């Protein structure tokens, strides 16, 4: 039935503040470009540059902020927009859920290169100086989009650290990713402001559920013959923990993986977190499927129809993860928020 694929109030104030300061940054970059190639080559190096970043084993030195960025997948685009970097973006690709209302207008003003990952040639047409990917598939070698291919074309790349594949992903990775992007674009103060906002959001949610018993949670991403779920290395596992729950498949040694429905029954989850994104069936279809399976009838979460819905983008390293903690906490411990 389903095939696997691979918020708000306080963020609005933060986005507005950084957007105002982005005008000054954009003006500075524009002045350099308009003065001609020779002037640009001899222009003074911006304060704080050069910047060297080691990203998933690829070391890149930036002499100045990138000015023509293509983002592949939605969460890198939203992160850049939240930092007021719209004027540095020349293309987006692969939206998988509704864009945050605060960012919708800016997001829609940027050309969309493709509904999925664009071809290497399509990306080159946008003449980027940086390609920022959200999933590892952004730089799929078998599709001609390897990081080496971009490097050979003189284009820098950055991959969301969640897909470096070395360790369990935590909220620290979210904060570090934001600060790294702030460093690359010469806006560390904006990054620190955004991180503080997100940390405050998480702190309020965890404080509200402190002392409450942990709720066993099963993450349902997709699948019918087996269940595609979040494993112990996923950020989702930490989001659930911070919200006063426990991922029943935290022992799965991967970011995502398939488990049997028999395993789901054995682990008796009391709540199910449904990941919502395009291409894997609607939330209502997923609920209908879970509720229609006789083998799942005695699972406490199914019997009590206890579901919490999260956009997939809210469970990834990006600006939405802090809001996912709040949404999960309210779904798992509603009495703590009355």
Whether 333 is in a domain gets the answer no
Q: Which residues contact 282 (CB under 8 A, 6 or more apart)?
A: 276
DSSP conformational letter for 100: P
Q: Looking at the structure, do residues 227 and 149 belong to the same domain, yes or no?
A: no
Q: What is the pTM of this model?
A: 0.85
Count of other CB atoms within 10 angstroms of residue 210: 10
Are 222 and 282 members of one domain?
yes
Indicate whether 243 and 316 sit together in one domain: yes
Among 197, 230, 258, give the residue marking a domain's end. Answer: 197
Q: Which domain holds residue 17?
A: 9-197
- Mean pLDDT in each 10-residue stretch from start to end of the chain (338 residues)? 43 48 44 41 76 96 98 97 98 92 97 97 98 96 97 98 86 97 98 98 97 98 96 95 98 94 98 92 96 97 97 93 96 95
Query: For position 338, what pLDDT does the model report?
Result: 87
Q: How many CA atoms lie within 13 A of 40 on its CB side?
A: 13
- Residue that terminates a domain, selected from 197, 225, 248: 197
Closest CA to 79 of 10, 24, 15: 15
Q: Does residue 102 belong to any structural domain of this protein?
A: yes
Which pLDDT value is given to residue 270? 98
Whether residue 205 is contained in a domain is answered as no
Maximum alpha-carbon separation in the chain = 72
**DSSP string of 108-129?**
HTSPEEESSPPPHHHHHHT--S
Count of domains forming the chain:
2
Torsion of CA 45, 88, 279, 264, to 10 degrees: 40
Single residue among 138, 173, 197 that ends a domain in this structure: 197
The Cα-based distances of 173 to 24, 133, 138 in angstroms read: 29, 15, 19
Question: Rounded to an integer, what distance in angstroms lies between the CA atom of residue 328 and that of residue 263?
Answer: 23
What pLDDT is attached to residue 101? Answer: 94
CATH number of 15's domain: 3.40.50.1980
166 and 307 both lie in a single domain: no
């Amino acid at each position: 039935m389903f095939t696997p694929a691979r918020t708000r109030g306080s963020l609005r104030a933060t986005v507005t503040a950084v957007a105002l300061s982005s005008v000054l940054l954009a003006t500075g970059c524009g002045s350099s470009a308009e003065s001609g190639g020779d002037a640009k080559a001899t222009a003074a190096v911006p304060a704080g540059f050069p910047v060297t970043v080691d990203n998933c084993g690829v070391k890149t030195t930036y002499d100045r902020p990138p000015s023509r960025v293509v983002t592949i997948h939605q969460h890198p685009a939203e992160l850049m927009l939240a930092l007021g970097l719209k004027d540095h973006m020349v293309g987006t690709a692969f939206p998988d859920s509704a864009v945050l209302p605060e960012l919708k207008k800016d997001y829609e003003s940027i050309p969309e290169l493709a509904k999925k990952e664009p071809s290497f040639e399509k990306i080159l047409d946008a003449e980027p100086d940086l390609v920022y990917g959200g999933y590892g598939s952004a730089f799929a070698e078998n599709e001609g989009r390897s990081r080496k291919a971009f490097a050979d074309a003189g284009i820098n790349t950055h991959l969301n650290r969640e897909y470096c594949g070395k360790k369990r992903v935590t909220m620290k990775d979210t904060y570090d990713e934001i600060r790294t992007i702030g460093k690359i674009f010469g806006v560390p103060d904006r990054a620190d402001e955004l991180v503080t906002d997100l940390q405050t959001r998480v702190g309020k949610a965890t404080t509200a559920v402190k002392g409450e018993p942990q709720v066993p949670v099963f993450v349902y991403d997709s699948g019918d013959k087996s269940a595609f779920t979040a494993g112990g290395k996923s950020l989702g596992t930490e989001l659930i923990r911070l919200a006063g729950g426990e991922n029943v498949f935290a022992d799965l040694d991967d970011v995502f993986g398939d488990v049997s429905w028999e395993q789901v029954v054995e682990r008796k989850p009391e709540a199910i977190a449904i990941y919502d994104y395009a291409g894997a069936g609607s939330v209502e279809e997923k609920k209908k499927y879970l509720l229609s399976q006789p083998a799942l009838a005695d699972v406490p979460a199914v019997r009590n129809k206890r579901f919490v819905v999260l956009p997939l983008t809210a469970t990834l390293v990006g600006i939405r993860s802090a809001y996912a903690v709040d949404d999960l906490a309210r779904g798992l411990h509603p009495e703590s928020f009355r």
